[in-house]
Copies of this chain bind each other. A is one copy, B any other.
């Protein structure tokens, strides 16, 4: 069984490979030659006073390549009130102040475990690749100006991903902290051929952009409805970055998947899974209230899915003037199966990573 690190994966995994692999996987999913088990979260108190413990799992399988991926996260999560907003952060509580997110790959040919690796690099690249795939079908073909909101991990993967599907010549980066946007623009300029310029005014970033990508962790709107000009394509990693008013302004809307929120299994709230984005909503209500926690489904959930766009079941952009939008609303295990398969195949080809005996993970007894 192969063990890989984030650094090793980052050294060879290209955003182009991720995008192409994912495109095939969405087609397979739509056709029924891939299958996805939606995310579930297991939530319980932690002896760690920093927060609540959450174990997240999702899995998916492809017929070709014959692989199944399981992705799990084992997190201490802290919710805290700040300036009237509820912020949710993961606490790096594991030894060395680290996080725990893992992808395990299994062969569907003989069942054996093939690889295990941290999910970080794949996680951000799969999100950006799905956004880029949507842009391939929704952005103007001649799109050349990109506005990026945010300067973190997701910004760092979205920028090259957008450049991989459109001939982007100018990138304007807005992030509230000057030092952050400048450092980010400088780093990104090394990675893409486009000119990357930091700007201090969000409206200036958006003005005249063919593609506006929000890649922040904001829970409130960062794109004003007035910025939705003819021909623009919007894309976000969190729905609240755009917000209802902005989303309603676009002509054509596509979402990642119709699954709205994970099933949360929360200690003290009975045995049934409760659909919620954040277990804190459930915990706040108190035990015995699980049944009353029906999540309201937002209007945009009726929009078609990315896979339908990719297979042509629903049309992409119809004219140069149309305004389009992609909501990367929730992740799916399928992304880890697709990108994971590419990671595994590339690592084997290059001899990267280290092997531990597969036999440790096998058994002679019928389980």
Q: Which residues of A are in contact with B by a Cβ distance under 8 Å?
A: 3, 5-6, 32-38, 40, 42-48, 53, 55, 57, 59-63, 66, 68, 70, 72-76, 90, 92-102, 104, 106-113, 116, 118-121, 123, 153, 258-259, 265-271, 273, 287, 356, 358-367
- For A70, the chain B residues whose CB sits under 8 A away are 55, 57, 72
Q: How far is the CB of A72 from chain B (nearest CB, A)?
A: 6
- 7 tightest Cβ-Cβ pairs between the two chains A and B: A101-B367, A32-B268, A120-B365, A98-B362, A118-B363, A53-B108, A35-B267
Task: For the complex, give the distance between the alpha carbons of A63 and B268 in Å.
Answer: 11
Task: For the complex, give the distance between the alpha carbons of A102 and B105 in Å.
Answer: 13
Say whether B3 contacts A360, CB under 8 Å. yes
Say whether A46 contacts B93, CB under 8 Å. no
Say whether A35 contacts B40, CB under 8 Å. no
Say whether B37 contacts A265, CB under 8 Å. yes
Task: For the complex, give the distance between the alpha carbons of A97 and B90 in Å.
Answer: 41
Q: Closest residue of chain B to A32, judged by CB?
A: B268
- For A32, the chain B residues whose CB sits under 8 A away are 267-270, 287
Task: For the complex, give the distance between the alpha carbons of A101 and B75 in Å.
Answer: 24
Say whether A36 contacts B74, CB under 8 Å. no
- For A266, the chain B residues whose CB sits under 8 A away are 35
**Copies of this chain present:** 2
Task: For the complex, give the distance between the alpha carbons of A90 and B365 in Å.
Answer: 11
Q: A45-B108, A55-B68, A356-B356 are in contact. List 19 more A-B contacts (CB 8 A).
A: A6-B365, A32-B270, A35-B266, A35-B267, A36-B265, A37-B265, A37-B273, A42-B68, A68-B74, A92-B366, A95-B110, A95-B112, A97-B364, A98-B362, A99-B362, A99-B363, A99-B365, A101-B363, A118-B361
Q: Closest residue of chain B to A114, judged by CB?
A: B74
- Assuming the contacts A61-B53, A68-B53, A102-B113, asked whether A35 and B108 have C-beta atoms less than 8 A apart, the reply is no
**Option from B46, B59, B112 in Cβ contact (under 8 Å) with A55:** B59
Say whether B96 contacts A111, CB under 8 Å. no
- For A108, the chain B residues whose CB sits under 8 A away are 44-48, 53, 55
Say whether A366 contacts B111, CB under 8 Å. no
- Assuming the contacts A35-B265, A110-B93, A356-B356, asked whether A116 and B361 have C-beta atoms less than 8 A apart, the reply is yes
The 20 listed contacts between A and B (C-beta, < 8 Å) are: A34-B267, A35-B44, A37-B57, A38-B271, A44-B63, A46-B66, A55-B108, A63-B267, A68-B74, A70-B72, A74-B113, A95-B110, A95-B359, A97-B364, A98-B359, A98-B364, A100-B113, A100-B362, A118-B367, A120-B366
Task: For the complex, give the distance between the alpha carbons of A109 and B5 in Å.
Answer: 24
- Assuming the contacts A35-B267, A360-B5, asked whether A61 and B76 have C-beta atoms less than 8 A apart, the reply is no
- For A106, the chain B residues whose CB sits under 8 A away are 55, 74, 100
Q: How far is the CB of A21 from chain B (nearest CB, A)?
A: 18
Q: How far is the CB of A175 from chain B (nearest CB, A)?
A: 17
Q: How far is the CB of A354 from chain B (nearest CB, A)?
A: 9
**Option from B33, B95, B119 in Cβ contact (under 8 Å) with A267:** B33
Say whether A153 contacts B113, CB under 8 Å. no
- For A363, the chain B residues whose CB sits under 8 A away are 6, 98-101, 118-120
Task: For the complex, give the distance between the alpha carbons of A347 and B126 in Å.
Answer: 38
The interface centre, meaning the residue of A35, A97, A364 with most chain B CB atoms within 10 A of its CB, is: A35
- For A42, the chain B residues whose CB sits under 8 A away are 35, 37, 59-61, 68
The interface centre, meaning the residue of A5, A73, A112, A119 with most chain B CB atoms within 10 A of its CB, is: A112
Task: For the complex, give the distance between the alpha carbons of A164 and B118 in Å.
Answer: 43
